[in-house]
Amino acid sequence: MSFPIRPIAEPEWAAYVNVMNEGFGWTAPPELTERFKAETEFDRTLAVFDGEVMVGTTGVFSLSMAVPGGRLLPVGGVTSVSVLPSHRRRGVLSQMMRRQLADIRERGEAVAALYASESGIYGRFGYGRAASQLSFRVTKRAAAFVADAPADPSLRIRVAPPAEVRAELEALFASVVTARPGRYARHAAFWDGNLADDEFDRGGMGALRCVLAEDDGGVRGYALFRVSSSWGDDGLPKGEVRLHELEAADPAAYALLWRHLLDRDLTDTLRAGSRPVDDPLQALLADPRQLRATYGDELWVRLVEVDRALTARAYAAPVDLVIEVADDVCPWNAGRWRLTADPSGAECKQVEDEPDLTVPVAALGSAYMGDGQLGPMLGAGLLREHTPGAVRGLATAMSWSPRPWAGRVF
């Protein structure tokens, strides 16, 4: 079936939110709804209609996202994907996703990215799991650092209400955003949400707190976190520090911020909901087994225009291969592309030469930010290698350190 589809106008916001509430099975409080409305680009929304009834929603944020090499690339940040339960399995989602990808291409964005509410959905639309995350818990009493942990005696900790130091937080974040693929620049509405401290933001924890690591030259890092206070039957403190965000411009500031959080009085546990899989804290802990971690997917990436996307990022090693791309959602990508790249630059052009490997477009998305999913896909039989070693060569060239991580759901 084909349903009418178009962007919404602001008076239709309530209906748009109602579809999301029903599709996700939640009831967003009014404060959160208004916050999300302030972030929304109405001309980049899409709604699907069955008669007069809105039955599907999606939207796009115009992001500037870091790719390997440190360039900020225009990226379509897909969000708000929902379908009324009454209209599942009727082509609503497929119609929205295809129209959205065409719109992203028309906007000139070669890459789309999203956070997946369900990880089994987006592969069929060409998205690949491009970044992973760790959620972890550290017990304070076992959190000593290695003897040679970096330290700078000029650094000091300053405690401050988050709202009062917002300008300093924004400046520090802007200075580090390109250091890791997947990070994206934040506009004012994103910062409003990041520093919000309504009751539902707290999730049973205390108020949002902030500490800054600084020297006489200015701020070199910050941490945003919450604390819950409790005591056990034995009278010992059982409080918890829950990390919201930690950013640092150098290793000494990074170590000092972690040390402060792990040494907070009247707490015995620190939890972090999402951190990069190569978070340096793992190397700082003298006993790394004390970091109890859960691994999960984070950012998903889709190459909307293969040639432009592949030439926009840097490469860790030389590569010269013909890649046959299968893409039935964005047919302009389907075909054979010669990628010639080295650390100084890249060229990608369509050719008729025999391919060195054949890949679904989602495989390129999974490797795009440098997370290295091509080898496991070959082992799983999801890629075809026509020239021995081609997959290893491409995977090596597309790998990157540090590993990708967006750090904030959009």
CB 133 within 8 A of CB 274: yes
Q: What secondary structure does DSSP assign to 211-258, as a single string?
A: EEEEETTEEEEEEEEEEE--B-TTS-B-EEEEEEEEEESSHHHHHHHH
Among 61, 122, 184, 315, the active-site one is 122
Instruction: Determine if residue 117 is labeled as part of a ligand binding site.
Output: yes
Instruction: Determine if residue 82 is labeled as part of a ligand binding site.
Output: yes
The amino acid at residue 289 is R
Instruction: Determine if residue 83 is labeled as part of a ligand binding site.
Output: yes
Two tokens, residue 404: 């990708």
Instruction: Determine if residue 245 is labeled as part of a ligand binding site.
Output: no
The amino acid at residue 46 is L
Instruction: Determine if residue 81 is labeled as part of a ligand binding site.
Output: yes
Number of C-beta neighbours around residue 352 at 10 A: 8
Catalytic residue check, 410: yes
Buried/exposed 359-383: b ≥16 CB within 10 Å, e otherwise:
bbbbbbbbbbbbbbbbbebbeeeeb
Instruction: Determine if residue 89 is labeled as part of a ligand binding site.
Output: yes
Two tokens, residue 354: 């025999």
Question: In DSSP terms, which residues pair with 242 in a beta bridge?
Answer: 226, 271
Cα–Cα distance for residue pair 103/85, rounded to 1 Å: 25
Instruction: Determine if residue 55 is labeled as part of a ligand binding site.
Output: no
Instruction: Determine if residue 118 is labeled as part of a ligand binding site.
Output: yes
Catalytic residue check, 190: no
Instruction: Determine if residue 86 is labeled as part of a ligand binding site.
Output: no
Cα–Cα distance for residue pair 26/19, rounded to 1 Å: 10
Q: Which residues define the annotated binding site?
A: 81-83, 89-94, 117-118
Active site residues: 122, 410
Q: Which residues define the annotated binding site for acetyl-CoA?
A: 81-83, 89-94, 117-118
